[in-house]
Amino acid sequence: MVATTVHLMRHGEVHNPEGVLYGRLPGYRLSERGRAMARIVAVHLSGREYDGAWLSELGQDDEAADTVAQSAGSGLSAGPRRDVVAVIASPLERAQETATPIAAAFGVEIGTDARLIEAANHFQGMTFGVGDGSLRHPQHWPYLRNPFRPSWGEPYREQADRMLAAVDDARAAARGHEVVLVSHQLPVWITRLALENRRLWHDPRKRQCSLASLTSLRYEDDELVSITYTEPAAALLPGAATVAGA
């Protein structure tokens, strides 16, 4: 029996003061808190207590993010060192930035897989709400006609298909070890729903996929035997931005 684990990770908090649904737009990078989240996960997967100096020695010097991470204090805990042999990310900046300290922690180069990208969305670049958001404008209403597909963006089934293909390829390449795939909230959640044979349409407010969280898929040979959800950076979630990318 060969055990392989694929960790699906959501990126850290994004600097988004306008509160727009940023989707696949370029230029949306991690905030200081988001960079701290990524560093916390890197250290957590390495089996260490938080150690900014160690990351700096690996070329990941970020004093501002270290200050934010250390503010979490006792909320940070070390896990067992994971056998990570690859770190692969969506091509978007926020995912690449999240992957950077994790790849450094394990001495690997970041791989990029376009199948891990955020879901396409009609409302990309807009604020999304009834008050002063895009929903007050009638021209956008037809895009809400079918929440089951959904009509406002990339079909859930297509998201699941591309993500599952990325998972299968990463699992095959890392067979007998572990791999981290850095993606986005909606694609990660859709992947989990598909693997659990649940319906793909859902209430976005009920997604279990917080910032910098890990949805870990454990396989024995080619059989999925467990799905585990963890939040290594949970101590930094209070006060974090809640706008999703899609």
Q: Confidence class of residue 4 from pLDDT cuts 50, 70 and 90?
A: very high
Find the length of the chain. Answer: 246
Neighbouring residues of 112: CB distance < 8 A, sequence distance ≥ 6: 88, 89, 90, 91, 96
pLDDT tens for residues 71-92? 876 556 677 899 999 999 999 9
- Closest of 76, 118, 77, 78 to residue 95, by C-alpha: 118
**Residue 48's domain is classified under what CATH number?**
3.40.50.1240
Instruction: Determine the Cα–Cα distance for residues 174 and 19; give it in Å rounded to an integer.
Output: 37
- Output the six-digit token pair for 61: 């010097």
Structural domain includes residue 131: no
Name the domain count of the chain: 1
User: In which domain, by residue range, is 97 found?
Assistant: 3-119+154-236
pLDDT tens for residues 20-49? 888 899 999 999 999 999 999 999 999 988
Structural domain includes residue 83: yes
pLDDT tens for residues 91-149? 999 999 999 999 999 999 999 999 999 988 767 777 765 445 555 556 555 556 556 56
- Residue pair 3/176 in contact by the 8 Å Cβ criterion: yes
Give the pLDDT of residue 105.
95
Give the pLDDT of residue 121.
77
Structural domain includes residue 175: yes
Strand arrangement, sheet containing 178-183: 110-112, 84-89, 178-183, 3-10, 214-220, 223-230
- 52 or 62: which leads in pLDDT: 62
Share of the chain above pLDDT 70, in %: 85
At position 103, the amino acid (one-letter code) is A
Please report where in the chains the tokens 């270290």 appear, as a residue: 66
Report the DSSP pairing between strands 3-10 and 178-183. Answer: parallel
Structural domain includes residue 68: yes
pLDDT tens for residues 143-176? 565 565 675 678 899 999 999 999 999 999 999 9
pTM of the model: 0.89
Give the pLDDT of residue 239.
87
Structural domain includes residue 89: yes
Structural domain includes residue 41: yes
Neighbouring residues of 231: CB distance < 8 A, sequence distance ≥ 6: 210, 212, 213, 214, 237
Structural domain includes residue 147: no
Least reliable range by pLDDT among 55-59, 134-138, 189-193: 134-138
Q: 156-173 vs 185-195: helix axis angle to the nearest 10?
A: 80
Please name every residue paired with 230 in a beta bridge, in sequence order, or none if there are none: 214
Structural domain includes residue 242: no
- Output the six-digit token pair for 184: 């986005």
Runs of H (alpha helix) within 174-207 = 185-195
Q: Can you give the C-alpha Rg of the chain in angstroms? A: 18
